[in-house]
């Protein structure tokens, strides 16, 4: 079993409260939110009843739309005694199952989501970085626990 250090947040508390990691993420989020709310508003118009009662459908949809932003906030952990190259070789299949592919254009070991670029954020990437005595894995909160458990099982 590989020795793994505990999780750390890659962003400060202030940056975690306001989860937008880049201007492009902010713009794309509000673009999708705008069209999603138009869709929800169209559904509300179709439903019978007063608009005052229907607003309770629209308000939660706005708040729930922030969930993905918090799931891509990066967390990290260190796998001791293993280089990024070794871990890349061993974790390639696991990352593929989690929906990530290696980006050959990037230096180092960077994995991007397999989702189409228009609905995927670059902030939702996995990075393997060599550090003193091991490899630092930086991954979105959504999959960091799965990667952590996988790395803990490596011999």
Q: What gap in Å lies between CA 30 and CA 68, rounded to an integer?
A: 13
Higher pLDDT residue, 50 or 110? 110
pTM of the model: 0.77
Cα angle for residues 66, 69, 75 (degrees, 5° grid): 140
pLDDT at 155: 52
Say if residue 150's pLDDT is above 60: yes
Task: Find which of 56-70, 75-89, 111-125 is predicted with most confidence, using mean pLDDT.
Answer: 75-89
Q: What gap in Å lies between CA 129 and CA 61, rounded to an integer?
A: 37
Residues 6+ apart with CB under 8 A from 82: 2, 134, 135, 154
Start-to-end CA distance of the chain, whole Å, equals: 5
Are 152 and 2 spatial neighbours (Cβ–Cβ below 8 Å)? yes
Location of structure tokens 């079993």 = 1
pLDDT at 37: 80
- Parse the chain into domains and list their residue ranges: 20-65, 72-152
Q: What is the mean pLDDT of the chain?
A: 82
Higher pLDDT residue, 105 or 124? 124
pLDDT at 31: 86
**For the residues of 37-80, what is the DSSP string, one character each?**
HHHHHHHHHHS-S-HHHHHHHHHHHHHHTTHHHHHTSEEEEEEE
Q: Residues 94-103: pLDDT tens digits?
A: 888 988 988 8
H or E, element range at 90: helix 84-97
């Amino acid at each position: 079993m590989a020795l793994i250090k505990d999780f750390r947040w890659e962003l400060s508390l202030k940056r975690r409260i306001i989860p937008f990691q880049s201007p492009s993420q902010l713009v794309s989020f509000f673009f999708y939110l705008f069209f999603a709310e138009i869709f929800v508003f169209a559904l509300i118009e179709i439903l019978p009843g007063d608009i005052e009662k229907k607003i309770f459908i629209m308000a939660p949809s706005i708040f729930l739309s922030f969930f993905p932003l918090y799931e891509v906030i990066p967390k990290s952990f260190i796998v001791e005694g293993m280089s990024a190259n070794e871990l890349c070789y061993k974790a390639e299949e696991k990352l593929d199952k989690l929906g990530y592919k290696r980006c050959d254009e990037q230096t180092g070991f960077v994995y991007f989501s397999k989702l189409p670029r228009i609905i995927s954020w670059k902030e939702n990437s996995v990075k393997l970085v060599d550090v003193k005595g091991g490899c630092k894995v930086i991954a979105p909160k959504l999959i960091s626990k799965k990667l952590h458990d996988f790395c803990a099982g490596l011999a």
